[in-house]
Every structure is written in C-alpha cells, then in structure tokens.
A and B are shown apart, each in its own frame.
Chain A
C-alpha cells in the first residue's frame, strides 16, 4: 500500500475508534457525568458546598465565593459529601477519591489529607468525642484523630456506607446499603447490636426520644426501639424512601422517590399520604419553626405551614433539588444540580420564597 492510502486508512480507523469510545462513554450516562448532588453545610458566616471538582466557601450575606479548594481541578478528585466545619478551624471533607481532606476553614488551604480505603465517600464526616468518623462506600466506618491522623478504630459493614453516622453520647447508629442498622460503641467501634431491615438504607436514621426512624428501599419507614432495634411500627409507601424522616409535634414527615409526601404519628405509625409533589423526593423534609420545606428532583421547593397541608408558597428554582436544605435565621440555602445557568446554591427568604442571591461558580 502506498503512503497516502496507508495514512488515509489509519486516519479513518482512528476516527472510527474515537467515535466508538465517545459513543460508549456517552451511553454510560452518569458513570462519566455528575454522579451526585451538592453537599452543603454551614457555620455562622459561611456556607460550605462540595460539588464536583471543588469545595467552596461562600459568604452567607453576599453569596460571594471566599475560597475554593483546590485552586485548579485535580485529576480524579471530586467532592459531593457535605463538608464538616469543626471548632478548631478545620473544614473536613471526603472526596470521591477515597481521601479525607483537612482544610483551613478561613483560607481553604490544605492542612492534611488522609487516605481511607480508596472508595468514594458519599456521607458527611461527623465528630464523635475527639474522633472524626468517615463512612466509605467500601463498607468501612473509619474513626481517626484529626491532630495525628491516627486511625483509632474501624467498623466493617457488609456493603457500602453512603450515609453519615448518627452520633449520640453512648451509641453511634449507622445505616447501610447492606440492609442493616448497626449500633456501635463510640469508644472502640465494637458492635452493640444490629438489625436486618431486609432492604437498603441510603440515608441517616432519625432519633426521637427512644425511637429510631429509618426509610428503606422496601417502600417503608420503620420505627425501631433504640435499644436492640426491635420494630415498633412500619409505614408502607408507594416507592423507595431515600431521605431521613423528620419529626415535629409527634408527627413524622417523609417523602418517597415517586414524589409522595406522607405524615404518620410517631407513637403508632398511623398516618396518610398528605400530598403529591411534582417529582422524586430525596431530600429530608426540613422542619423549622412553624414551617416545613420539601424539595423535588423537578426543581421545586414547597413551603408549608404546620396548620395547613397546602403549600404557603412554592418556587420552581430550575435544575434538580436533591440535597436537604439548610436554614439560618430567616434564610433558606438550597443546593441545586443540573441548573441551566449552572447555579449551585440559592438563598431564599424562608417565609416568602423570594430569592436573595444565587451562587454560580466562576469558570
């Protein structure tokens, strides 16, 4: 074969292979795209937002970016777990690279990094006494000292941990994708008891008095005795329950991924569907004062008053709303995914839904 012809064939073959690669990559959907939603947390002055390649510190008053970490995207490093602000000036955040980063909360400078198993970190780290607890999708809960990064203990579940542990003085409660709820001794990480709920649990349990409330993929919310995990009642839903249930005045509120909103009594689990929202509900209901806020994948935020089932206001923000919002005083902070204008965070007036500012990261 002569040279030009050889070159032409080589070029067309490379084009064919490149097309195949792009086509296959495109076909795999979210494997190569955003794989989660913004993780948000706050202290008095700042909102901390972890999304994709950066962790942002955002001024709560003005909505401006104070810093971001890292300054430039790092290959293979993405963040989605809500960051943890600590009292000793750190912001601790888990990455999808299986690394926990300790950042200076004022500047965003990296103070340390600690590798925990290599699998993605979806759940927010939490503090238990002097230890930081980090759940990993490799099924391990790691407890380490922040000062020395010494691993003090680790607990192994049967499957991925995507939720934050719920920490009390005597017990750490851990829900897992392996269908189990675990109660763990915070001093040494030893198992106190475990309960098989038969279906995956993706979010953190809610503790009210001596009752643990858990939503499962078995289309149920279960109430368990905090000592031993015996079932007190169960409530059937139409579809998977993703977010943590919330409680106010003896009533439990929760949504399912079919967009149904429910309320049940805390003592006996008797209740009903109270509304049909416009899309999948993954965020936990946010109950604040006399208000309740519900978010949907379709991008709408609903605000209801305790006395009334119909919304006081509802605002379509665009994009998709998956993360549980944060309330501070009279303001509501809502993380947004897939927004057409690339908004990541919106601050709303909590009683009216009026937008105060929105945060779009600079490119």
Chain B
C-alpha cells in the first residue's frame, strides 16, 4: 500500500523528470524536490499561518500575563491557555495536521531518491519492482555524476593544492541550510520551555543532518540542501520574517530580554 500509493509514483515521476532533464540526476533531485514542495504548498501555508498566529498570540499582553500569573501552576496555566485559544478562535493543533500529512510525503521523497540511486545489486533488483512499464529501462542505471560529485558516494571535494584532503562541501552546506530552515520554521517562543526547545532544535537538527550528509550518498545531501533552501525560501516569501529571527546572537539577546 505504502509502495503503490507513495513510493512507486514518486520513483517513476523522479525517473521521468531525470529523463526530461537529459539524464542529470542532481538537477532531477532539485526539480523533483521543488515539485513536491509545490504540491504540498497549501498544507505548508496553512501550517505557517498557524505558527504565525501562535507567535502573534504569544506576544500579546494577555498571554504574557497568564504566563506570569500561573508560572507555578502548570495545570491552571494550561486551562487558561485553552480559554484564550477559544476566545480568539485559535486551534493549537491547526498547524500540526498539515505537517503530519506532509510527513509521509517527505519520507516518500527521501525513499524514492535513495531507491532510484540503487548503487548495489540488491537495491537495483528492488528498484526493478517499482518501475512502471512505460518508463524506459534504458534510464537504468541513473547517471550519478553531478558537478564534482558521484551522487552514489559520500561527497568530498579534492582541490588541486590539497590533493589528500577531501572537503565535505555538501555537508557544510547541509549544516548551514538546516540551521536556517530549522530556525526560520521554529521561531523563538517567548515562553522559556519553548524557547529552550527551539534553541536545541537549532543546534541538534543541523548536526544530525550534517552527520547523515557526511556519511551517506551525496544524492541524499543534495536533497537535504535543496529541501532546506526551498523551505527557507517559502518561509521568507510567505512569513517575511525579520533578519534577527535568523541570527543566533540577536535571537539569544531577544529571548533573554
């Protein structure tokens, strides 16, 4: 069911995009990630609006007063928060549902990219089960060369004057873009527990993504970079965040104040 509804269509669309783009798998990953982002745009927009509304609400005097008044009584605090949600017609789960719906799509996209790269005999055999009859088998195996990379291998850039040191350029890009995409998607919350969580996410998530990019195929890292970049772009265009939301030092100062 998972394969026939999510994975198979994604694999075949990805292969067709690859075919259409003249067998450039790196560009195909970027374009395909963009297409998926476009399809899930209504859900992302809903989720963003919800986050924005939440943020606005958390900056109101009434919210801050409740936080202060019931800081030692968590149960009462939650009750008051729920009352406030009702009062202004805000559904705290409104942002979760669109995110949850997107989750299988993101996992499917990730799996589709991994499976199409099929860099070993068993993965190639597995791929054969997922390809529709109308997709030409001559596309297999995909051409994994993209810029200086072999997308089927962990990426390292060897410069002529540093022939023995491989620079993990994509890993660095993944860490940087993950930082910004996490930061922009989870704005600093005025309440201290949320703020702490946001800060930790801002540190651990880029490190986790960086580790995966450093260790596994470059194709996956290209997907991470493209996905992060598009997430940041979407947020910038739709939410128009202030610059100080993204910079570590300023946001720290702000959260302290």
The answer to whether A30 touches B123 (Cβ under 8 A) is: yes
Q: Which residues of B contact A14 (CB under 8 A)?
A: 204
Q: Which residues of A contact B208 (CB under 8 A)?
A: 17, 20-21
The answer to whether A24 touches B138 (Cβ under 8 A) is: no
A198 at the interface (CB under 8 A from B): yes
Chain B interface SS verdict (over half): helix
A179 CA to B139 CA in the complex, in Å?
10
CB < 8 Å A-B pair total? 104
The answer to whether B123 touches A29 (Cβ under 8 A) is: yes
A182 at the interface (CB under 8 A from B): no
Using A1-B196, A20-B208, A21-B208 as known contacts, say yes or no to A29 and B137 having CB atoms under 8 A apart. Answer: no
The answer to whether A257 touches B128 (Cβ under 8 A) is: yes
A171 at the interface (CB under 8 A from B): no
B216 at the interface (CB under 8 A from A): yes
B205 at the interface (CB under 8 A from A): yes
Using A9-B200, A24-B110, A24-B212 as known contacts, say yes or no to A35 and B120 having CB atoms under 8 A apart. Answer: yes
The answer to whether A218 touches B193 (Cβ under 8 A) is: no
Max chain A Cβ within 10 angstroms of own Cβ: one of B119, B120, B138, B204: B120
A34 CA to B137 CA in the complex, in Å?
24
- Which residues from 162 to 194 on chain A have a C-beta closer than 8 Å to any C-beta of chain B? 162, 177, 179
The answer to whether B141 touches A177 (Cβ under 8 A) is: yes
A363 at the interface (CB under 8 A from B): no
A101 at the interface (CB under 8 A from B): no
The answer to whether B128 touches A240 (Cβ under 8 A) is: yes
A278 at the interface (CB under 8 A from B): no
The answer to whether A28 touches B138 (Cβ under 8 A) is: no
Of A65-73, A114-122, A147-155, A224-232, the stretch lying at the interface with chain B is A114-122
A138 CA to B145 CA in the complex, in Å?
10
- Which residues from 244 to 258 on chain A have a C-beta closer than 8 Å to any C-beta of chain B? 257
A219 at the interface (CB under 8 A from B): yes
Residues 1-38 of chain A, each 1 if its beta carbon lies under 8 Å from chain B, else 0: 10001100110011001001101100111110111110
Q: Which of A29, A159, A202, A219 touches B126 (beta carbons < 8 Å)?
A: A29
A137 at the interface (CB under 8 A from B): yes
B101 at the interface (CB under 8 A from A): no
B143 at the interface (CB under 8 A from A): yes
The answer to whether B193 touches A13 (Cβ under 8 A) is: no
The answer to whether A162 touches B111 (Cβ under 8 A) is: no
Q: Which of B110, B123, B125 touches A280 (beta carbons < 8 Å)?
A: B125
Q: Which of B121, B150, B192, B196 touches A35 (beta carbons < 8 Å)?
A: B121
Q: Which residues of B contact A138 (CB under 8 A)?
A: 150
The answer to whether B115 touches A29 (Cβ under 8 A) is: yes
The answer to whether B111 touches A120 (Cβ under 8 A) is: no
The answer to whether B122 touches A30 (Cβ under 8 A) is: yes
- Which residues from 196 to 219 on chain B have a C-beta closer than 8 Å to any C-beta of chain A? 196-197, 200-201, 204-205, 208, 212, 216-217
- Which residues from 123 to 174 on chain B have a C-beta closer than 8 Å to any C-beta of chain A? 123-126, 128, 137-138, 140-141, 143, 150, 152-153
Q: Closest chain A residue to B143 by CB distance?
A: A159
A160 at the interface (CB under 8 A from B): yes
Q: Closest chain B residue to A80 by CB distance?
A: B121
A200 at the interface (CB under 8 A from B): yes
The answer to whether A200 touches B141 (Cβ under 8 A) is: yes
The answer to whether B204 touches A282 (Cβ under 8 A) is: no
Would you give the shortest CB distance from A122 to chain B, in whole angstroms?
Answer: 6
Using A9-B193, A13-B201, A160-B141 as known contacts, say yes or no to A31 and B216 having CB atoms under 8 A apart. Answer: yes
The answer to whether B197 touches A120 (Cβ under 8 A) is: no
B66 at the interface (CB under 8 A from A): no
Q: Which residues of B contact A120 (CB under 8 A)?
A: 119-120
The answer to whether B120 touches A30 (Cβ under 8 A) is: yes
Q: Closest chain B residue to A34 by CB distance?
A: B122
B114 at the interface (CB under 8 A from A): yes
The answer to whether A9 touches B197 (Cβ under 8 A) is: yes
Q: Closest chain B residue to A21 by CB distance?
A: B208
A144 at the interface (CB under 8 A from B): no
Residues 214-245 of chain A, each 1 if its beta carbon lies under 8 Å from chain B, else 0: 00011100000000000000000001101000
Q: List 7 A-B contacts (CB under 8 A).
A: A9-B196, A17-B208, A31-B123, A138-B150, A159-B141, A217-B137, A322-B122
Q: A5-B193, A29-B111 are in contact. List 7 more A-B contacts (CB 8 A).
A: A13-B204, A27-B114, A31-B119, A35-B120, A159-B143, A160-B141, A199-B138
Q: List residues of chain A with CB under 8 Å of any chain B CB.
A: 1, 5-6, 9-10, 13-14, 17, 20-21, 23-24, 27-31, 33-37, 80, 118-120, 122, 137-138, 159-160, 162, 177, 179, 198-200, 202, 217-219, 239-240, 242, 257, 280, 282, 297, 322
